[in-house]
């Protein structure tokens, strides 16, 4: 069965940590493809400013170019209402019958999963590839099982890669006039500079 990974997020901006994460997870799980899905109007960012979708999308296109494992979907950008992971996975499942979908998430996200929109439906649609997140302890699957019966059978816990780059740190460094060339692909670094992104925004 073909295995496809999904990585969602605001990607504000996409960075080398995202790319290393996807490459490692794809290798470990034998994924044929990983689809990056930038969020359009994520519910959890309603009160926080994010970079316009067209600029986040442009940076993703630059970062993903030339790698056959990477794919890009604009499905969430095309929605006007707040986006929920469960709706996205349901749509993908309908588009890709017979494929096994793996939603890539961090330890911290898995701990919060019971508070997500329709989490029981989500774990019926895909498996969860869970990776370490800096500053977060490994989730307690036994405890999660009480809230979401059957989740242990749907989770693949990975002990690496450990990613030490964050988008908020990149935004803060750019705002402070510091280099981010070792944190993002070269084309993305040039785009950030050319577009004057993050110049006046310090908070993450």
- Summarize pLDDT for 139-150 with one digit per residue, the tens: 999 999 999 999
The reply to whether 51 falls in a domain is yes
Residue 83 tokens read as 């986006």
Q: Which residues contact 160 (CB under 8 A, 6 or more apart)?
A: 24, 131, 132
The reply to whether 138 falls in a domain is yes
Q: How far apart are CA 106 and CA 136, in angstroms?
A: 9
The reply to whether 204 falls in a domain is no
In the chain, how many domains are there?
A: 1
CA angle 12, 17, 19 (to 5 degrees): 90
Domain that holds residue 13: 3-166
Q: How far apart are CA 4 and CA 33, in angstroms?
A: 5
The reply to whether 8 falls in a domain is yes
The reply to whether 201 falls in a domain is no
The reply to whether 122 falls in a domain is yes
Low-confidence ranges of the chain (pLDDT < 70): 41-48, 201-204
Q: Which parts of the chain fold into alpha helices (H)?
A: 16-29, 53-64, 85-95, 107-112, 119-125, 141-147, 167-175, 186-195
HSE-CB of 198 using CA atoms within 13 angstroms: 26
The reply to whether 156 falls in a domain is yes
The reply to whether 127 falls in a domain is yes
Digit-coded pLDDT (tens) for 96-141: 999 999 999 999 999 999 999 999 999 999 999 999 987 788 899 9
CATH of the domain at 85: 3.40.50.620
């Amino acid at each position: 069965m073909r295995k496809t990974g999904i990585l969602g997020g605001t990607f504000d901006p996409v960075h080398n940590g995202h790319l290393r994460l996807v490459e490692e997870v794809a290798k470990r799980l034998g994924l044929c493809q990983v689809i990056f899905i930038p969020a359009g109007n994520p519910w959890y960012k309603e009160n926080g400013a994010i970079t316009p979708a067209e600029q986040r999308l442009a940076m993703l296109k630059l970062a993903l170019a030339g790698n056959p494992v990477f794919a890009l979907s604009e499905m969430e950008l095309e929605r006007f209402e707040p986006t929920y992971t469960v709706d996205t996975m349901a749509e993908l499942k309908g588009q890709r019958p017979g494929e096994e979908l793996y939603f890539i998430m961090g330890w911290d996200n898995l701990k919060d999963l019971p508070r997500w929109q329709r989490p029981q439906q989500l774990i019926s649609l895909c498996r969860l590839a869970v990776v370490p997140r800096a500053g977060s302890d490994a989730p307690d699957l036994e405890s999660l099982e009480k809230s979401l019966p059957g989740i242990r059978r749907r989770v693949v816990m990975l002990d690496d890669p450990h990613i030490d780059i964050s988008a908020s740190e990149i935004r803060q460094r750019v705002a402070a006039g510091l280099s981010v060339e070792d944190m993002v692909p070269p084309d993305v670094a040039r785009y950030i500079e050319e577009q004057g992104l993050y110049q006046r925004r310090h908070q993450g």
